[in-house]
């Protein structure tokens, strides 16, 4: 009997996980927020999501063709970037601006730095920062949910401008469900939490980073956000703005977050501190995306300084 | 029965695939030949004591070594030596082997008699003479393990019945078919080493084994059956010792350094039988399974039997096998040929079909951290892999690559199918070379 046997190193058994399956899970987890964005911001939200996804996927495809690399659009990471970018845009952002943002995210932020797994900042957030700098007016023209482009302020904008006067602030339930001004994907805490729960169940993300992030923002704004110490309206800070989206979907991005449990806690706390400082003392009403970007930059350092001790010791043997 | 007091870090839960669990072990008849390699243990290889044309008998010693860390080898059949030649292991090592054609008489050698000893040294010597090695898979000579270095005091014995690798059920069969032997052997080892307390640790997915062994233990035996969570690598020596005793074996140290002796269930059962009969290690319980194996089952096989004949006895293949694994799917070694022999520490032979054997293509690391979370030794496989890819072998030392036990958890979970374990091995080999070169430079 002549048979051709495969060699190969152990293990000979695999979990069957793949990058594609993980990205597909992320897209599924983003669906509730996508649906709620279309529900609240109607056709504008749908257009933005479609345009950014097409821009990102096309840019990735073109890059692979031009550089003669293996086509990577099937890993679906470009589509994820597209959706996340759209979620970070105001409904009033023109379509062409969104498209440029998508191309920027993929080409400049992701591929020029080596592609999936190598980019050191979150592509969607870096693109958003670039768009903020280039088209500040369009990027911050907020609207009320609904068919008509009725301009409105975001809840955090109201707090920032000394608001908080009753009547002006939205009701908690509107905020929780997403019936408020903001970027299209961030407004519904409910939809984001539903998606996050799916990611946790599917073991795509773990909770230490989001909890550290949200917990830190909650504590800091409670302590320092009010007239006197410990009177801040932390509920608003947690549910209004991009914290939920940022903590569960942006900060947990694999490529740009630490790989250890401790590292993720540190990143979460770091993001939380920066967000609170920007929100309470900075020039912007919102600080989630900048704080994540800043923490992205120190991720390689966090990983290098937190090489865990091996089980049963840890002293580096005559290294 | 008690529960394990600790839970080790990391690990994975692969499917059990233990379809052969309730199949009673079948004794395989004499093969047409046996090829018995001189190195079936960790340590120095043995020198053949017989030459071509010699007649040998069952249990006759056919290879031994002067070295301290070695275990002699015995003939598993009576017959004529047809060749003494080198064979190539699938790990790439070449060793001498004795090929014997059985005469069918299975005449037992005169040396096979219950060992007579007057003191502990004599007892240890006869255990060495039995050729016994750790039967859990690693193959470390048992008599060396039973005599800890001076100054080290053993106070706990842990008997490993975890059998955490998927597919394998040979230890389970031992626990079901020979629980008396296991309990008896545990007591013998306690006597030999003077250890007052023993734990027989079994994964909780084997309730019948836990029951059958517990029922044989009497008050005052100082033996406790411990049920372990079912998780791989629960049977890894350091993980097992930690979960059962709460003691961590320091990096680079041995269980004896924390006063623990760990032995596999089949190993102690062998000791019990050997002290009664004097029959050295010449046969093994082996699980036959995998998608290409026609009749998954447990067989008792003579050591040296060619794999081909074992599979033929078990009904052959129902599909073309693409990978033959000696051992479990997590740590077993893929065999390049079916002419290889069953060894002392062989506990399973898996014939994987096309589907099970083909590897998914490697893609880029997405930094998901799953390998870090799964590593029971708390390493960062992704960074070791990245440094190996760049040829930075010295850098891998910062990531403690030498603490890797090659359990395979990291590669198992990696969604990018990175060849993580392979790069661990490569890094360790390169570091050894570097160290050797440094040594050479000094002289
Ligand atoms: S599991 Fe694989 S993809 Fe994930 S971090 Fe480890 S090596 Fe990278
Ligand atoms: S093979 Fe090594 S690095 Fe991978 S999980 Fe096991 S101990 Fe950790």
Backbone angles phi, psi at A204, to 5 degrees: -80, -40
Distance, CA of B415 to chain centre: 29
**What average pLDDT does chain A have?**
90
Question: Taking residues B139-147, what's their average pLDDT?
Answer: 90
Please state, in angstroms and rounded to a whole number, the distance separating the CA atoms of residues B39 and B94.
9
Question: Taking residues A45-67, what's their average pLDDT?
Answer: 96
Please state, in angstroms and rounded to a whole number, the distance separating the CA atoms of residues A75 and A71.
9
Distance (Å) of CA A239 to CA A174, A175, A200, B345, B432? 10, 7, 20, 60, 55
Fold of B2-21+125-277: Rossmann fold (3.40.50)
Distance (Å) of CA B44 to CA B51, B74, B84, B207? 20, 16, 18, 39
> For residues B405, B406, B408 and B411, what is the CA-based torsion angle, rounded to 10 degrees?
120
Please state, in angstroms and rounded to a whole number, the distance separating the CA atoms of residues B196 and B193.
9
Q: What is the pLDDT of residue A168?
A: 62
Distance, CA of B330 to chain centre: 12
Take residue A301 and report the two structure tokens written for it: 């350092």
**Range in A223-237, A251-265, B274-288 with the lowest mean pLDDT:** A223-237
- Establish whether residue B384 lines the binding site of ligand 2, counting it when its CB lies within 6 angstroms of any ligand atom: no
Q: What is the DSSP string of A31-89?
A: HHHHHHHHHHHHHHHHHHHHHHHHHHHHHHHHHHHHTTPPP-GGG-HHHHHHHHHHHTS
Q: What is the pLDDT of residue A74?
A: 92
**Range in A189-193, B351-355, B357-361 with the lowest mean pLDDT:** B357-361
DSSP class of residue B158? Answer: E
pLDDT bucket at B147, cuts 50 / 70 / 90: confident
Q: Among B238, B361, B378, pick the best mutation site for testing chain A contact (most A Cβ within 10 A).
A: B378
Q: Is the pLDDT of residue B43 over 70?
A: yes
Contact residues for B402 (Cβ-Cβ < 8 A; gap 6+): A317, B252, B428, B431
Residues B296-331: tens digit of each pLDDT? 999 999 999 999 999 999 999 999 999 999 999 999
Which pTM was predicted?
Answer: 0.93
Domain boundaries, chain B: 2-21+125-277, 370-442
Please state, in angstroms and rounded to a whole number, the distance separating the CA atoms of residues B376 and B12.
9
| Chain-chain contact of B397 with A319 (C-beta, under 8 angstroms) | yes
Residues B71-119: tens digit of each pLDDT? 999 999 999 999 999 998 877 789 999 999 999 999 999 999 999 988 8
Nearest ligand to the CA atom of A255: 1
Please state, in angstroms and rounded to a whole number, the distance separating the CA atoms of residues B377 and B408.
11
Among A204, A259, A264, name the best residue to mutate to test ligand 1's pocket (greatest count of ligand atoms within 8 A of Cβ).
A259
Question: Taking residues A110-132, what's their average pLDDT?
Answer: 94
Q: What is the pLDDT of residue A146?
A: 76
CA of B375 to the centre of ligand 2 (A): 5
Check: CB of residue B133 under 8 Å from CB of residue B200: no
Distance (Å) of CA B291 to CA A14, A90, B313? 15, 55, 17
pLDDT bucket at A315, cuts 50 / 70 / 90: very low
Please state, in angstroms and rounded to a whole number, the distance separating the CA atoms of residues B280 and B131.
6
pLDDT bucket at A163, cuts 50 / 70 / 90: low
Question: Taking residues A232-245, what's their average pLDDT?
Answer: 89
Contact residues for A187 (Cβ-Cβ < 8 A; gap 6+): A36, A37, A40, A145, A175, A178, A179, A180, A181
Q: Which helix (H) or strand (E) holds B89?
A: none
- Establish whether residue B384 lines the binding site of ligand 1, counting it when its CB lies within 6 angstroms of any ligand atom: no
Q: What is the pLDDT of residue A319?
A: 32
Structural domains present in chain A: 19-303 (1.10.3430)
Q: Is the pLDDT of residue A162 over 70?
A: no
- Beta partners for residue B201, in sequence order: B160, B226
Nearest to B175 by CA among B215, B137, B209: B209
Distance, CA of B77 to chain centre: 23
Alpha helices in B35-178 (DSSP H): 120-129, 142-146, 170-177
Check: CB of residue A248 under 8 Å from CB of residue A214: no
Q: Which atom of ligand 2 is nearest to the CA of B409?
A: 5
Among B12, B365, B409, B420, name the best residue to mutate to test ligand 1's pocket (greatest count of ligand atoms within 8 A of Cβ).
B365
pLDDT bucket at B6, cuts 50 / 70 / 90: confident
Name every chain B residue with its beta carbon within 8 A of the beta carbon of A113.
none
Nearest ligand to the CA atom of B364: 1
Question: Taking residues B381-397, what's their average pLDDT?
Answer: 96
Q: What is the pLDDT of residue A165?
A: 47
Question: Taking residues B253-277, what's their average pLDDT?
Answer: 95
Q: What is the pLDDT of residue A176?
A: 87
Q: How far is B124 from chain A (nearest CA, A)?
A: 30
Contact residues for B64 (Cβ-Cβ < 8 A; gap 6+): B46, B47, B49, B70, B72, B73
Nearest to A192 by CA among A48, A88, A50: A88
Check: CB of residue A254 under 8 Å from CB of residue B367: yes
Question: Taking residues B277-286, what's their average pLDDT?
Answer: 96
Nearest by CB to B14, which of A13, A22, A257?
A: A13
Residues B213-235: tens digit of each pLDDT? 999 999 889 999 999 999 999 99
Check: CB of residue A88 under 8 Å from CB of residue A124: yes
**What average pLDDT does chain B have?**
94
> For residues A221, A226, A231 and A232, what is the CA-based torsion angle, rounded to 10 degrees?
-30
Q: Is the pLDDT of residue A317 over 50?
A: no
Q: What is the pLDDT of residue B441?
A: 62
Q: How far is B337 from chain A (nearest CA, A)?
A: 7
Q: How many CB atoms within 10 Å of residue B110?
A: 9
pLDDT bucket at A272, cuts 50 / 70 / 90: very high
Nearest to B331 by CA among B251, B411, B385: B411
Question: Taking residues B49-54, what's their average pLDDT?
Answer: 96
Please state, in angstroms and rounded to a whole number, the distance separating the CA atoms of residues A215 and B394.
40
B120 CB near a chain A CB, below 8 Å?
no
Place of tokens 């599924």: A28
Q: What is the pLDDT of residue A144?
A: 80
Nearest CA to ligand 2 atom 4: B410
> For residues B285, B289, B294 and B297, what is the CA-based torsion angle, rounded to 10 degrees?
30
Helix A189-201 / helix A19-66 crossing angle, nearest 10 deg: 100
Closest residue in B to A118 (Cα–Cα)? B366
Check: CB of residue B35 under 8 Å from CB of residue B99: yes
Check: CB of residue A15 under 8 Å from CB of residue B412: yes
Please state, in angstroms and rounded to a whole number, the distance separating the CA atoms of residues B129 and B178.
23
Q: What is the pLDDT of residue A212?
A: 98
Distance, CA of B200 to chain centre: 17
Q: Is the pLDDT of residue A167 over 60?
A: no
- Establish whether residue B279 lines the binding site of ligand 1, counting it when its CB lies within 6 angstroms of any ligand atom: no
């Amino acid at each position: 009997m002549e048979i051709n046997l495969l060699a190969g190193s152990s293990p000979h058994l695999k979990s069957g996980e793949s990058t594609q399956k993980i990205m597909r899970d992320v897209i599924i987890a983003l669906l509730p927020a996508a649906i709620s964005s279309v529900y609240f911001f109607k056709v504008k939200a749908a257009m933005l999501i479609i345009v950014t996804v097409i821009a990102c996927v096309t840019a990735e495809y073109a890059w692979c063709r031009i550089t003669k690399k293996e086509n990577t659009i099937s890993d679906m990471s470009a589509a994820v970037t597209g959706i996340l970018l759209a979620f970070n845009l105001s409904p009033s952002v023109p379509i062409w601006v969104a498209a440029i943002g998508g191309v920027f995210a993929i080409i400049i932020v992701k591929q020029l730095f080596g592609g999936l797994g190598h980019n050191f900042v979150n592509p969607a957030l870096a693109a958003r920062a670039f768009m903020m700098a280039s088209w500040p007016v369009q990027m911050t023209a907020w609207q009320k949910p609904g068919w008509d482009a009725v301009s409105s302020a975001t809840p955090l904008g109201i707090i920032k401008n000394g608001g908080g006067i009753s009547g002006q602030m939205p009701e908690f339930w509107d905020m929780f469900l997403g019936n408020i001004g903001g970027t299209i994907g961030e407004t519904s805490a409910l939809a984001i939490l539903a998606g996050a729960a799916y990611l946790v169940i599917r073991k795509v993300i773990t909770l230490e980073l989001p909890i550290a992030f949200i917990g830190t923002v909650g504590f800091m704004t409670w302590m320092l956000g009010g007239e006197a110490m410990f009177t801040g309206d932390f509920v608003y800070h947690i549910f209004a703005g991009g914290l939920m989206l940022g903590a569960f979907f942006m900060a947990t991005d694999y490529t740009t977050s630490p790989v250890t449990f401790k590292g993720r806690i540190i990143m979460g706390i770091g993001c939380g501190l920066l967000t609170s400082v920007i929100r309470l003392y900075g020039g912007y009403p919102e600080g989630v995306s900048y704080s994540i970007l800043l923490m992205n930059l120190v991720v390689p350092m966090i990983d290098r300084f937190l090489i865990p001790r091996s089980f049963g010791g840890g002293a580096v043997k005559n290294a | 029965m008690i529960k394990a007091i600790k839970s080790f870090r990391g690990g994975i839960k692969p499917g059990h695939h233990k379809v052969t669990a309730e199949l009673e072990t079948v004794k395989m008849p004499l093969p047409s030949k046996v090829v018995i390699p001189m190195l079936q243990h960790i340590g120095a290889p043995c020198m053949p004591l017989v030459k071509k044309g010699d007649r040998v008998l069952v249990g006759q010693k056919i290879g031994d070594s002067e070295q301290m860390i070695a275990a002699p080898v015995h003939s598993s059949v009576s017959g004529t030596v047809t060749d003494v030649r080198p064979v190539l292991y699938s790990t790439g090592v070449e060793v001498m082997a004795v090929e014997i054609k059985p005469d069918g008489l299975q005449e037992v050698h005169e040396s096979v008699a219950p060992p007579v000893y007057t003191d502990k040294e004599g007892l240890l010597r006869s255990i060495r003479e039995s050729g016994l090695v750790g039967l859990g898979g690693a193959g470390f000579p048992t008599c060396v393990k039973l005599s800890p270095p001076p100054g080290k005091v053993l106070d706990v014995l842990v008997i490993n019945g975890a059998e955490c690798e998927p597919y394998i059920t040979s230890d389970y069969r031992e626990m079901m078919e020979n629980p008396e032997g296991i309990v008896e052997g545990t007591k013998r080892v306690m006597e030999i080493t003077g250890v007052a307390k023993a734990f027989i640790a079994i994964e909780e997915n084997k309730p019948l084994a836990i029951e059958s062994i517990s029922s044989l233990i009497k008050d005052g035996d100082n033996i406790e059956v411990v049920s372990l969570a079912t998780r791989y690598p629960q049977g890894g020596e350091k993980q097992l010792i930690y979960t059962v005793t709460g003691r961590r074996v320091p990096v680079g140290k041995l269980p004896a350094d924390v006063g623990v002796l760990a032995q596999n269930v089949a190993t102690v059962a062998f000791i019990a039988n050997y002290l009664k009969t004097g029959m050295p290690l010449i046969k093994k319980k082996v699980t036959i399974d995998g998608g290409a194996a026609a009749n998954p089952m447990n067989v008792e096989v003579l050591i040296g039997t060619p794999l081909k004949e074992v599979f033929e006895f078990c009904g052959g293949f129902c599909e073309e096998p693409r990978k033959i694994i000696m051992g479990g799917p997590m740590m077993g070694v893929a065999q390049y040929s079916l002419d290889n022999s069953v060894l002392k520490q062989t506990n399973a032979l898996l014939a994987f079909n096309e589907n099970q054997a083909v590897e998914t293509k490697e893609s880029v690391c997405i930094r998901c951290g799953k390998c870090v979370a799964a590593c029971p030794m708390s390493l960062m496989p992704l960074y070791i892999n990245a440094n190996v890819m760049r040829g930075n072998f010295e850098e891998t030392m910062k990531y403690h690559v030498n603490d890797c036990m090659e359990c395979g958890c990291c590669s198992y979970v990696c969604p990018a199918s990175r060849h993580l374990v392979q790069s661990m091995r490569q890094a360790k080999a390169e570091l050894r070379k570097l160290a050797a070169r440094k040594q050479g430079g000094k002289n």
